Structure 1
Amino acid sequence: MASDFSMYMHNMGKRITLACIIFVLCKPENVVRALSLQKVGRTSFLPTTSSRMAPMAQNNVHQGRSSHHQFAHHRTTTTSKTSLSMIFERMSEECIGSLVTAQSESARLGQPSVGCEVMTIGIIDRPERARRTLKQYNITLRKAKLTVENMFRNEANESEEEDGDKKKGGIFTMSPQLLNMNKKARDVELPFAPPLKRVLTNAGLIADSLDSATVDSEHVLLSLLGYDAKEGKVPVEVDKMVEERGYAKGALAVFLRMEGVDSTTFSSAEFCRRLIMDMKYPTSSSNNGDGPQLVTGNGEGSSTPTLAEVGEDLTESAFRMELDPVYGRDEEVRNALRTLVRRRKNNPCLMGEPGVGKTAIAEGVAQILVAPRMMEQLDELFDRNEDGEFVKQDEVDWIAKLAKQCPPRLRNHRVFSLELANLVAGTKYRGEFEERLQAIIEEVTDEKAPPTILFIDEIHTLVGAGSAEGGIDAANMLKPALSRGKLQVIGATTISEYRKYIEKDAALERRLQPLMVKEPTIEQTIEILEAISEKYGSYHGVTYTKESLVAAAKLSERYVTDRFLPDKAIDLMDEAGAAVHMENSFMPSSVPKPPPLVTEDEISAIIARWSNIPIGKITSTESSTLLELEASLESRVKGQHRAIKSIARAVRRARSGLRDAGRPVASFLFCGSTGVGKTWLAKSLAAQYYGSEKDMIRIDMSEYMEKHTASRLTGPPPGYIGYEEGGQLTEAVRRNPHSVVLLDEIEKAHRDVLNVLLQVMEDGVLTDGKGRSVDFKNTILVMTSNVGSHRILDLVAQQKLQRSRSGGERRKKKKKRGEGSSSFEEYVMGEEANGDNEMSNGLEEISSSVAAEEYAALSEVVQDELQKEMRPELLNRMDEIIVFSPLDNENLRDIAHAIVNASMERAYKEKSIKLSVSESLINAILFDGAANAGAFGARPMRRAAQRLFEDAVSDAIVRGFLSEGDSATVDMGLNTNALGMPTVVVFRERDGESLVVDVDDGSGGIGMAASSRAVNGANMEMEGLQPDAIQ
């Protein structure tokens, strides 16, 4: 079938030779193309007037340009050229190339004619001004070819099954014998399918409606997508038909099937709108349709090609609605605009911590500067409904608000983000960097160029950038233009880098106006999150609840202390959305469902993973944790009710909102004799309040006895060994800011070391050797001390003697009545536990009033000693100074049970052996390990448990008496061995056998009573010799 295209070529046969000569003269690479076109009878696509060709060809010999662009200036559109032959005459060279590519691809795929689907491949191969839009939708030539091939292959398979030759919707089937991917185009002419003829004719009408003298590739693409030239948009029926019936054809069918294109959200109307915007406001071009491309300038339509090559036009991005809205930064944006309109020193430099929103402020300036232009072109940016109102009225109102903030002097200005990495990249030889930067300065300061404000993120990198031996850096090259006011710059950098680089260069500093950007408050952060949540929700396909945004702001502020708002809150919101999206992506459903919700639970789960805090500690209300804190601590720590009550009271006061938020949660000083549970209570506090015993940072202050060791806490200053490693305290808190900081034996540290802690307890921060501020506001600071331990021992001895005398008199009275025996055997057998509620070792139970008096005496002794040893400014910053009481008999018995239970749990975990103990063994451990508990605390109890319980069980396991899976009971022997030493009996339950193990005749360490001596003196009077800990 002969087409109008071939008839047009046939009528121009006499001009073929001349056209080939013109192609050769214009561009050498067109020789092959011209010859290939001549073979199929379609060599020239040039206008028919040969009288115009000769002079044009001569001009192009010197100018090195194709003749087609020269003809574009002589064409006129006064008459409507709608016939297909006239369309061919008006086509641009790139559009003609797309036709050639389409015919070649149709031949390669074995198609009898060129259809709309294959024409899409040709347009993507030669997109002209549609390149940017295609890139935004991730549409590439490789994907298009693969998609069309799969479409034809699937249709061919369906046709074979139906024994048909034609495909529904006008797409022709592909013969399998003609499908040769490596075969070149056949030397036969392929006609255009009727649908494509109508598309090309409509492309001419679209070109006319857009006031274009040529028919370009983008016009054909608009026509392929159903763009109506009269209506100026894609009819609603096109997308509606695809949505309701799942039917699409032409380029739309290719796009919807293409990998990387979301078929559920793709809209041909939106695509065409963006394409027309790219045609009207071209900002970039490239010569490669595949892969990533830089924003480049080729000199056509750009007065700043070098700047376009290495930077990005933020105002153009704002015009396309590609930037996130800026909320909560009105004052900072207003300050930046006020600085820009100054006559001198009109270069704002935004200073702030990483993540506080410096770059967002520059984007906010760009949005304000472009807002007046957007107000003039609202009809091109937004669609209207049937009533003539804008569909997205809230966005229109937002743009109108921004337009009112734009200073008249800055109208028509643009903000260009200059990437120094792109500026330096590729400069291999000396002088290339300086030449490129100088070209940018000349382009920006050129009066013919649009007024441009450069935004340089990380502006401190200007200092030293691009400098070589004998050359100058970027900062020195920009100084003259900045001083004359011809060049305006918005800089952004951190406070530390500003001081390190820019402050040292006085000439550069005086040309910049520093503007401090502070971290936003939680309320401002919530406002920012609400503003951007719609975009993040659309990206992830989720919906954020109001509560989740509030939780993101508050939890990130509390638990992520090494970063700043709003960056950490935005990251938290983003990751929560990604997590919900992934969870729902694995649950496909044929029934449409509303977008899943991101709630507080998802936010808590993410923050728990970030901060290593159990999720239960975050989701549960803190009030319940605080109410249960006292009971949970008493279940782990025995005999320190007063200390636990003081701790719980201080923590509740701190977390109820009444404390100073700039200080640690609480600061405690634990005082008392050794072994009463000071360190164990600190570890239990970490486990109950923060979730794990690992959330305790322990620093042994005996390692800081010298003055110079103070630097080890915060890190050595620059130039000293270990500077890069940081301080032991500051680095530990930076890694785990939610923890109990235990400074053990604080009295052993040098006084200058203690001065470091003053800053922590007062301001909740500590500056390390690198100048970084480490946050202690979420820590509980615990210091332990043995100050006054000698006076405590003396006082306890006096109290012991007094109680012993009183108890001795009572025992004598019982002795006369035949009551009471102080032998080790009777104590072990529990016979002393009976009678008049007396203590099992013969000592009287201390009344509560006596205990209170003794505790007050101990507190007074400790207070006196603390004031002698420590500076008053340190003591005055403590929330609570807690004195630990000596342990009494009931508490020691509980401790003995806890020690033995822990050993039994280890035996079951390691050897799968179930053990139980008798009460007589507990009595023996208590008697043996609590001989001097008033002076040495409960630690001797652990050694007694090792001798009497763990050694016996270990001996049974080594001898093979106990094996995995066995159950046994451990008891004290009724008789001593031949040497008079006590014995321990292990009873095996599976056969009733028993093993008698001798107890070592050693005291097992300081503070323990020798069991054999107790046996040998079974009938001795125990006056004054009773275990004073059993009080």
Structure 2
Amino acid sequence: MKEVYMNNYTEELKRILKSSELIAESLNSSNINSIHFIMSMLSNYNSLSKILEKYKIKLEEIKSYLPKEQSNKYLFYSKELLSSIESVILSLENIDDEITLNLLFNEILSNKDTLCYKALIKTNIDIESLKKSILTTNTISSNSILKTIGRNLNKLALNNEFDPVIGREKEITRVIEVLKRKNKNNPLLLGEAGVGKTSVVEELARRITKNQVPNFLKGKTIYEVNLSSVIAGTKYRGEFEEKLTKLINEFEKNDNLILFIDEIHTLVGAGGAEGAIDASNILKPALARGKLSLIGATTLKEYTNSIEKDKALDRRFEPLLINETNYEETLYILKKIKPNYEKYHNVKIPNNIIELTAKLSNKYIKNKHNPDKSIDILDEISAVTSLMEKKTTNYKIKNKISVLTEKKNKCILENNLTKALTLKKEITTLENKLKENTNKNKKNIVTKTILKEVLETKTNSNIFELSNPDYFIDLNKYLKQNIFDQDHIIDNITNKLISFTKSTSNLPLTISLNGPVKTGKTYLVNTLSNYLKTHLITLNMKDYITSTSITKLIGSSAGYVGYNEKNTPFESLKHHPVSIILLEDYNYTHPTIKALFNTITSTGKLTLNNNETINFENTIIIKTTKESNKSKIGFIEKQTNKNILSFNPLSKNTIKKIITKQNKNLTNEQIEKIIEKSNYLEENAKNINNLINENLVNFNEVTQNL
């Protein structure tokens, strides 16, 4: 096959010519001619697709004019097609100028000897009108600003660089509908990070390349422009404005281009140095003229804070809300994209792993959004599995080959050729075995253990253990070994935890502990946190006795020092979703703060002063109090007594168990002496540690004197 490609052919033209070769080969043609070329244009997405459709040029009709020739062993380009290519090359003003699809097709139509020209004449196509339409269709020149700062989404879609977009049919249809409008035809995609705003645009680009869009979108190209790329390199005043104006002009003069700006809120204020206008004010006139087709994407918060405030800019857009996918939708998406990740990582992902990934990421990862967070987990567990070669037979074989090779080289240096030959045979045998194993292409399987490791690393919690009933049986035993004679409380807490982990509710688990001072309330919480390996947030409610102290929990109000600073005690819940929150001495809490915690326990969420929402779905909130009036203990004043767990005062026997646990070397006489001094009837275990240490010091002094 004769090679006709040159360095200055555009990617689009190369693709069409390559497709022409494949069409000619599939039809057993003797050569590649201009009819194969136009058939390729009709079969594949290109910048002239819309024009060919406008003139109602049909593939089957054109195909019927192919000459009936004997096929050759080797395919060559026909003289008439080569002549057109050579004519285009000779017509270039500069040798470095690009040869575009428009130029070559126009040349083919200008040559009355080409098979394509003759076929179109027979189908009653107005050739001159067609040529005029082709020449007036703008293409991206080699020195275009889009070549340096733009990202051609259509080209990336053609190269299959995007994951398929599942379950966003309604959103994609809405984008197309808005683009079709006469006025306000600029869609603005709004949604939280990770819900798939950019993916909707990427899917639109993919459909354009497949001609699966309405006629007005056929032949269009979507370019993504990052505003930071426009700002980059602009050192002096006016350079940014000039660069952005040049970019806007590029889109205005070419109606086949659609501009996509992700994080479009960055327009407001961008490049706005003192005495200069910002990017949004440069863009407004172009949007007002209606010659610029623009798709934007940003979050709801950024839209409210920037674009919505600028009414002149806001009214040029049509906001479209992209919602987060629910569990069922996320699971469907993961199942559809699973083959892509299996192929890329060369692994096998069982369906039960897919279901667990969707379920657990939805439950425990609260600072991100679906489907992005679940896809991230799927990608990571696949990557971890693909890197597990060291655990396979191949890794052991490679190690053995390396050791034997070292020994063989040593034998050669020592002139022990017989031994070296034996080692060489062993190495050859192992290499053949390794090659055989590689040819089998056995895929590693993603396991629950790998998913466990990845999720627990991301959430800083042992979430898999919390779903194991046996884990709580061991917890019950562990607590009873460390907290004495409070079995009724330990049993109650264990049962609550089991119910909590099985619950589908999005509310936190709340526990109220009441009892005299130093009976083990705080110690129980610390012991529980250590066993569960969960993050512990401790709040001393004596610090929240005034209404103004609420700012410590929800942040300062707008306009005050500290606003937007992320220094509230609940910020850590974003990275430790499974946490225990201990509220000590809750009876001192101001009613305003109590109302705040009532909101948390009844909704599972807390909105901070900066409008950020903290999720408490997987938290355990434990309140301790010395309040004797049980009606004032619970989060809600009308809480019944059965929800309050009361600690027993410590008996002499309990005190003895505590002392023995802390120091097993003490004699009975020493223990009795400590108990006598402890005043446990009034102060429980308050003085135990000090008395044990004091007794040991006295004992050491006596020993030294002896």
TM-score of the aligned structures, taking structure 1 as reference length: 0.50
1:877 CA displacement: 10
SS of 1:729's equivalent in the other structure is coil
- Cα distance change on mapping 1:209 and 1:679 into 2, 3 Å: farther
Which of 947, 952, 959 is residue 694 of structure 2 equivalent to?
947
- Cα distance change on mapping 1:951 and 1:550 into 2, 3 Å: farther
1:774 CA displacement: 1.1
1:634 CA displacement: 2.1
Letter of the structure 1 residue corresponding to residue 231 of structure 2? V
Which of 883, 894, 909 is residue 646 of structure 2 equivalent to?
883
5 Å matches for 1:899-978? 899-901=662-664, 916-929=665-678, 931-933=679-681, 935-949=682-696, 951-953=698-700, 959=704
Question: 1:612 matched to which residue of 2?
Answer: 460
Which of 668, 682, 693 is residue 525 of structure 2 equivalent to?
682
Does the 8 Å CA contact 1:672/1:786 hold for their aligned counterparts? Answer: yes
Structure 2 segments unaligned to the other structure (5+ residues): 16-71, 87-98, 104-137, 399-433
1:410 CA displacement: 2.7
1:559 maps to 2:364: yes
5 Å matches for 1:618-767? 618=464, 621-657=467-503, 660-661=505-506, 663-664=507-508, 666-688=509-531, 690-691=532-533, 695-723=535-563, 725-767=565-607
Q: Distance in 2 between matches of 1:776 and 1:210?
A: 73
SS of 1:511's equivalent in the other structure is coil
Question: 2:303 matched to which residue of 1?
Answer: 498
Question: 1:235 matched to which residue of 2?
Answer: none
Q: Distance in 1 between matches of 2:643 and 2:143?
A: 68
Does the 8 Å CA contact 2:467/2:502 hold for their aligned counterparts? Answer: no
1:619 CA displacement: 5.4
Does the 8 Å CA contact 1:667/1:879 hold for their aligned counterparts? Answer: no
Q: Distance in 2 between matches of 1:641 and 1:210?
A: 96
Question: 2:200 matched to which residue of 1?
Answer: 361
1:359 CA displacement: 0.7
Which of 619, 633, 636 is residue 779 of structure 1 equivalent to?
619
Does the 8 Å CA contact 1:412/1:450 hold for their aligned counterparts? Answer: no
Give CA-to-partner distance per residue, 1:960-1009, whole Å, 9 cap, x none.
Answer: xxxxxxxxxxxxxxxxxxxxxxxxxxxxxxxxxxx86xxxxxxxxxxxxx
Give CA-to-partner distance per residue, 1:530-551, whole Å, 9 cap, x none.
Answer: 3333333333332322222223
Letter of the structure 1 residue corresponding to residue 354 of structure 2? L
Question: 1:318 matched to which residue of 2?
Answer: 157
Does the 8 Å CA contact 1:356/1:520 hold for their aligned counterparts? Answer: yes
- Cα distance change on mapping 1:279 and 1:345 into 2, 3 Å: closer
1:887 CA displacement: 2.0
1:863 maps to 2:670: no
**How many pairs are equivalent?**
561
Give CA-to-partner distance per residue, 1:252-285, whole Å, 9 cap, x none.
Answer: xxxxxxxxxxxxxxxxxxxxxxxxxx99799xxx
Q: Distance in 1 between matches of 2:641 and 2:360?
A: 28
1:674 CA displacement: 0.3
Q: Distance in 2 between matches of 1:955 and 1:776?
A: 55
Deviates more, 1:676-685 or 1:412-421: 412-421
1:456 maps to 2:261: yes
1:416 CA displacement: 1.8
CA RMSD across the alignment: 3.6
1:478 maps to 2:317: no
Letter of the structure 1 residue corresponding to residue 645 of structure 2? I
Question: 1:823 matched to which residue of 2?
Answer: none
Letter of the structure 2 residue corresponding to residue 348 of structure 1? P
Q: Distance in 2 between matches of 1:210 and 1:534?
A: 45
Question: 1:544 matched to which residue of 2?
Answer: 349
Question: 2:608 matched to which residue of 1?
Answer: 768
Structure 1 segments unaligned to the other structure (5+ residues): 1-81, 96-125, 135-201, 217-277, 283-298, 373-402, 789-861, 902-915, 960-994, 997-1031
Give CA-to-partner distance per residue, 1:524-575, whole Å, 9 cap, x none.
Answer: 2222223333333333332322222223222223332222222222222222
Q: Distance in 2 between matches of 1:326 and 1:878?
A: 53
Q: Distance in 1 between matches of 2:584 and 2:198?
A: 45
Which of 655, 677, 684 is residue 892 of structure 1 equivalent to?
655
Q: Distance in 1 between matches of 2:560 and 2:640?
A: 32
- Cα distance change on mapping 1:343 and 1:129 into 2, 3 Å: closer
Which of 226, 229, 237 is residue 419 of structure 1 equivalent to?
226
SS of 2:464's equivalent in the other structure is helix
Q: Distance in 2 between matches of 1:953 and 1:557?
A: 58
1:517 CA displacement: 1.6
Letter of the structure 2 residue corresponding to residue 562 of structure 1? N
Give CA-to-partner distance per residue, 1:147-182, whole Å, 9 cap, x none.
Answer: xxxxxxxxxxxxxxxxxxxxxxxxxxxxxxxxxxxx
5 Å matches for 1:810-825? none
Question: 1:574 matched to which residue of 2?
Answer: 379
1:725 CA displacement: 4.2
Q: Distance in 2 between matches of 1:279 and 1:603?
A: 50
Give CA-to-partner distance per residue, 1:216-242, whole Å, 9 cap, x none.
Answer: 9xxxxxxxxxxxxxxxxxxxxxxxxxx
Letter of the structure 2 residue corresponding to residue 769 of structure 1? N
- Cα distance change on mapping 1:210 and 1:481 into 2, 3 Å: farther
SS of 2:649's equivalent in the other structure is coil
1:434 maps to 2:241: yes
- Cα distance change on mapping 1:131 and 1:352 into 2, 3 Å: closer
Q: Distance in 2 between matches of 1:624 and 1:367?
A: 50
Which of 324, 335, 348 is residue 174 of structure 2 equivalent to?
335
Question: 1:596 matched to which residue of 2?
Answer: 444
User: Which is greater in Rg?
Assistant: 1
SS of 1:635's equivalent in the other structure is helix
1:510 CA displacement: 1.3
Question: 2:191 matched to which residue of 1?
Answer: 352
Give CA-to-partner distance per residue, 1:468-503, whole Å, 9 cap, x none.
Answer: 444332222222332343222211111111111011
SS of 2:674's equivalent in the other structure is helix
- Cα distance change on mapping 1:570 and 1:946 into 2, 3 Å: same
- Cα distance change on mapping 1:585 and 1:359 into 2, 3 Å: farther
1:874 CA displacement: 5.1
**Identity over aligned pairs, percent:** 29
Question: 2:322 matched to which residue of 1?
Answer: 517
